[in-house]
């Protein structure tokens, strides 16, 4: 555990060092630039009728949230550096044990250091509440637990020849669950690859990645991945991408295995509609329970602009998760997600969304669930620097027993009203 904590501290330090190094480089180069600092604060009051997401003896409460925001931008002709921090302080009226500070932050840099070298660095720290945003379940199991996610990615691209680019990258991610029975996981990744433009419509790619997966309880695992892909643009907005490779999996003090990865994407752009089919197979950490799994997902995605004011999108998916190393799991999930946005006026915007997700875990008692989510949101722009907002979230998770009978269910209704001030 100490090793994991040290890794986490080192990742934060690494991110800071990278950003400071970029700033030092730009200052030394004497590039004309402009700093911009933006502040904001949001105040909201919420009513939650099931704050602990219990199946029985639900507790209701009022929640006051204060969320200051800070955005710092550094812009030059060739670079863009942006850092933002948006903590949320939550205070419960009758259950002070639930009071907490949720941290949300991101740092991003995108720029051309020389004529042939470009660098991109992105670090996102995101708190996700148990009543999650619609769509989170695609490709990942959902659990009734708050969680903290961090993703740090850094990529350097070098134009070796006119049609060939080399890429070098590293990344770090972790998922930290609030529930003690869910296993946190951490992943380090470093790799290299190249993209070669064969024709104006074809791009060939090659990638090698080394990943190290760290767990609280399960054995750590090393994964070597070799992947080859090709992307082709047909006429009239049709794009095909295909890739495949091998995965060499080595468990610490355990066995070694081989497997394969694959990806397929077909998208078609129409005048006001975008539709696509995606298949993906990869080796990754088993979210929430530790170990390593083979994940497969096939999804149908679509977006439609009905009018200048009305936009919508949908996702229909089916995914499986089979354990390779660690805890024995066999999961199947499928679902449908629908969202829409509408601009009533220039100052009044609305959004609505709903989803149905079915999760089946063979051989794991109490893990079969079906979930329903619904969300309505309204934003009114009173002034360019002042707005008011309202949202309603509905969440229901049914825990299924034998014969698909509902043994128990979790139901939550969350109403929120708030205002936001912005100043430069």
DSSP H or E segment with residue 8: helix 2-29
Backbone angles phi, psi at 50, to 5 degrees: -155, 75
Q: How many CB atoms lie within 10 A of CB 367?
A: 17
The Cα 381–Cα 39 span in angstroms is: 17
3-state secondary structure of 188: strand
Task: Tell how far CA 7 is from the center of its chain.
Answer: 21
Structure tokens at 312: 């919508």
Strand partners, 229: 205, 243
The percent helix, strand, coil of the chain (3-state, each to 5) is 10, 65, 25
Task: Say if CB 311 and CB 318 are below 8 A apart.
Answer: no
CB atoms inside a 10 Å sphere around CB 81 = 21
Mean pLDDT for back-to-back runs of 10 residues, the chain (424 residues): 45 52 53 76 95 87 95 86 92 92 90 91 84 43 72 95 95 85 86 95 97 85 96 94 96 85 96 96 79 91 96 95 76 92 97 91 68 94 96 87 64 95 89
Structure tokens at 299: 């999804």
Cα–Cα distance, 296 to 352 (Å, whole number): 29
Q: Distance between CA atoms of 343 and 349, rounded to whole angstroms? A: 5
């Amino acid at each position: 555990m100490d090793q994991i904590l040290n890794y986490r501290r080192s990742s934060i330090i690494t991110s800071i060092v990278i950003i400071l190094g970029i700033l030092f480089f730009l200052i030394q180069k004497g590039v004309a630039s402009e700093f911009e600092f933006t502040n904001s604060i949001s105040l909201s009051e919420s009513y939650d009728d099931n704050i602990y997401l219990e199946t029985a003896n639900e507790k209701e409460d009022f929640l006051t949230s204060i969320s200051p925001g800070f955005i710092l931008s550094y812009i030059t002709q060739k670079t863009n550096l942006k850092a933002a921090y948006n903590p949320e302080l939550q205070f419960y009226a009758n259950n002070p044990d639930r009071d907490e500070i949720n941290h949300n932050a991101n740092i991003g840099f995108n720029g051309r250091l020389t004529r042939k070298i470009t660098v991109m660095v992105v670090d996102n720290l995101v708190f996700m509440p148990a009543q999650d945003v619609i769509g989170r379940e695609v490709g990942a199991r959902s659990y009734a637990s708050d969680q903290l996610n961090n993703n740090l990615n850094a990529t350097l691209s070098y134009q070796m020849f006119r049609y060939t680019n080399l890429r070098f990258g590293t990344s770090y991610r972790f998922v930290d669950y609030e529930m003690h029975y869910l296993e946190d996981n951490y992943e380090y990744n470093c790799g290299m690859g190249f993209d070669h433009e064969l024709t104006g419509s074809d791009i060939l790619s090659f990638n090698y990645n080394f990943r190290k997966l760290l767990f609280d309880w399960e054995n750590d695992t090393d994964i070597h991945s070799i992947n080859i892909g090709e992307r082709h643009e047909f006429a009239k907005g049709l794009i095909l991408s295909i890739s495949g490779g091998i995965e060499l999996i080595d468990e610490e003090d355990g066995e070694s295995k081989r497997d394969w990865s694959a990806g397929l994407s077909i998208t078609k752009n129409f005048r006001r509609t975008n539709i696509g089919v995606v298949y993906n197979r990869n080796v990754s950490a088993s979210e929430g329970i530790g170990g390593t799994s083979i994940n497969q997902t096939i999804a149908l995605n679509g977006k439609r602009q009905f009018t200048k004011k009305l936009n919508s999108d949908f996702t229909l998916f089916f995914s499986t998760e089979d354990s390779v190393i660690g805890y024995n799991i066999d999961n199947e999930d499928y679902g449908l997600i629908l969202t829409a946005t509408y601009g009533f006026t220039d100052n009044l915007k609305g959004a609505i969304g709903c989803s149905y997700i079915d999760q089946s875990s063979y051989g794991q008692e109490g893990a079969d669930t079906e979930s329903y989510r619904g969300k309505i949101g309204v934003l009114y722009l009173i002034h360019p620097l002042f707005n008011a907002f309202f949202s309603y979230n509905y969440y229901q998770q049914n825990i299924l027993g034998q014969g698909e009978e509902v043994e128990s269910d979790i139901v939550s209704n969350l109403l929120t009203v708030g205002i936001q001030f912005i100043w430069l």
